[in-house]
Amino acid sequence: MGKADYAALWQDALRAMTEAVPAQEFDMWFSGVQYEGSEGSELLLSVPDSLRRDKLAQRYSYKLESMLSEMSGGKVTVAFSIRKKSQTSKSPTPEIQRKQLPKKKVQAPPSLSPDYTFDRFVIGENNTFAANAARAIARNPGRAYNPCLVYGGVGLGKTHLLQAIGNDVYREFPELKIAYITAESFTNEFILSIGQQKSHQFKNKYRSVDVLLIDDIHFLPGKKQTQEELFHTFNALHDSSKQMVFTCDRPVSELRELTDRLKSRFSMGLNVDLQPPEYETRVAILRKKIEEKGVEVPDDVIELICRNIRTNVRDLERALTNLLAYADLVSADINLEVAQRRLQDHFASPEQKNIPIELIQRVVAEYFSLSHADLKGNRRTKAIAFPRQLAMHITREITEFSTTEIGNSFGGRDHTTVMHACQKVQDKIRTDDTLESTIQFLIRSIKGQGT
Ligand code: ADP
Ligand code: MG
């Protein structure tokens, strides 16, 4: 076997190890292992410290060697050594580079929008945790929280934060290779590369970056081959302690048709959520947007907008843009009266008493990849029963229908069944800290479709 073959063999063995040992264990012992080369049929592997060297030699070398031997069809052994600091000099630690290297680049890399920076991201109670994690990652890529997953509903700042990490790293660590891509583009690019027989190039491209930012991974369910590719990309990057950050519109545990092993990778590191902003934060964000645009908007108009638009930041921005465009067109000053008239359509009516139950059922069914008939029907399998209970709970929360009416709409069930369902969901909210944000997400989707 040639040198290059041994390198590839090592990658294969590592991948096999991810299947063979629990993720946490793998992470603990294998994350710092680097392939240094081969001597005869011995693979030379370096590790950061003696603890890891001893552990790996004692606990894993037998398994590794038998795996390697089997894969290559000949006897292969491994030797672990402790890596000297200088050995990692291929990419010296970011902290050192920060001081030494001139900060040349001022523009954002082509795939990033220069507007999405930390300066422009307003921090409130709803997003402090996520924003702080993102900043820590940008200061110390590959070291702080790796991997990291940011999840939350539409328009809450996921893309903004993800790109802010990219922009910041680009400025502070000009030598690091950054890739920002949506899961959708990743999928398309991958498919294209197969068609053009360039999947090797594709693999190399994403396995050789220092910071990989993938937006909207909720696009991946059902895309089997892409998931497989991403899984290997993840492992390769994780092995060499490269930073990865993902965003998703819901907790990963709720993604269906995503392989378990990929799920476990995504949820392995830090998972943080973004909630809709509170009134005070909405005001602060809107003021910031107004300032950035260099326009003047009276305080009472800002209050009007923020009191009425609670869904997300994108809707806030839309209302502002609409208002500014109008004022510009008719050369009018913006005042409370103009705003009230102009923005009526943007303000969802506060009493949405009768959102149709059918709409709620459809949104919830779709979220759980069930059919509308399933949700209304009689089957009691767990996969259906819980979504059904959730839909009942949401119906109670956001409509004025009585439990009898709700029961009727869910396949003629008794009102006590509805009460029992709501109780179940409330109990579950107490023990499952992602459930509340799932419910909020569903409610936003329902209201979004109802208007
Ligand atoms: P998502 O990716 O979660 O759908 P985006 O990141 O695209 O949301 O955000 C939607 C819009 O709202 C963007 O223009 C973004 O700049 C803005 N935005 C979101 N959160 C904030 C915030 N905390 N401060 C300032 N702007 C924000
Ligand atoms: Mg986005």
Distance in angstroms (rounded) separating the CA atoms of residues 213 and 207:
12
Residue matched to tokens 């103009």 = 338
Does residue 227 have its Cβ closer than 6 Å to ligand 1?
Answer: no
- In single-letter form, the type of residue at position 40 comes to G
Q: Which ligand is nearest to the CA of 286?
A: 1
3-state DSSP call for residue 184?
helix
**Does the reported pTM lie above 0.85?**
no
Q: What percentage of the chain's residues is helix, strand, coil (to nearest 5)? A: 60, 10, 30
Asked if 234 and 139 count as a contact pair (C-beta separation under 8 A), the reply is: no
Interval between CA 36 and ligand 2 midpoint (Å): 39
pLDDT at 66: 86
Structure confidence by residue, pLDDT tens digits, 144-196: 899 999 999 999 999 999 999 999 999 999 999 999 999 999 999 999 999 99
Asked if 247 and 215 count as a contact pair (C-beta separation under 8 A), the reply is: yes
Asked if 151 and 255 count as a contact pair (C-beta separation under 8 A), the reply is: no
For 220, the token pair is 């991946």
pLDDT at 348: 63
The Cα angle at residue 264 between residues 263 and 265, in degrees rounded to 5? 90
Task: Give the burial class of 19: count Cβ atoms within 10 A of its Cβ; 0-12 exposed, 13-18 middle, 19 or more buried.
Answer: exposed
3-state DSSP call for residue 42?
strand
Nearest to 315 by CA among 289, 341, 296: 289
Interval between CA 144 and ligand 1 midpoint (Å): 23
Asked if 13 and 80 count as a contact pair (C-beta separation under 8 A), the reply is: no
In the DSSP assignment, the letter for residue 349 is -
Output the DSSP codes for 351-378: --TT--HHHHHHHHHHHTT--HHHHHS-
For 190, the token pair is 């991958």
pLDDT at 450: 60
Residue matched to tokens 């939350």 = 152
pLDDT at 344: 83
Asked if 154 and 247 count as a contact pair (C-beta separation under 8 A), the reply is: no
Nearest atom within ligand 1 for CA of residue 127:
23
Q: Give the end-to-end CA distance of the chain in Å, rounded to a whole number.
A: 65
Does residue 316 have its Cβ closer than 6 Å to ligand 1?
Answer: no
Query: How many of the other CB atoms lie within 10 Å of CB of 101?
Result: 12
Nearest to 222 by CA among 250, 184, 193, 189: 184
Low-confidence ranges of the chain (pLDDT < 70): 24, 85-109, 348-353, 450-451
Nearest atom within ligand 1 for CA of residue 274:
3
> Which H or E run contains 316?
helix 313-329
Interval between CA 322 and ligand 2 midpoint (Å): 21
3-state DSSP call for residue 125?
coil
Nearest to 247 by CA among 138, 149, 179: 149
Domains along the chain with CATH numbers = 3-82 (3.30.300.180), 128-274 (3.40.50.300), 279-348 (1.10.8.60), 357-450 (1.10.1750.10)
Q: Enumerate the H helices of 368-434 as residue ranges.
A: 372-376, 382-398, 403-409, 415-431
Interval between CA 160 and ligand 2 midpoint (Å): 7
The residue to mutate among 149, 151, 160, 161, having the most atoms of ligand 1 within 8 angstroms of its beta carbon, is 160
Distance in angstroms (rounded) separating the CA atoms of residues 63 and 148:
30
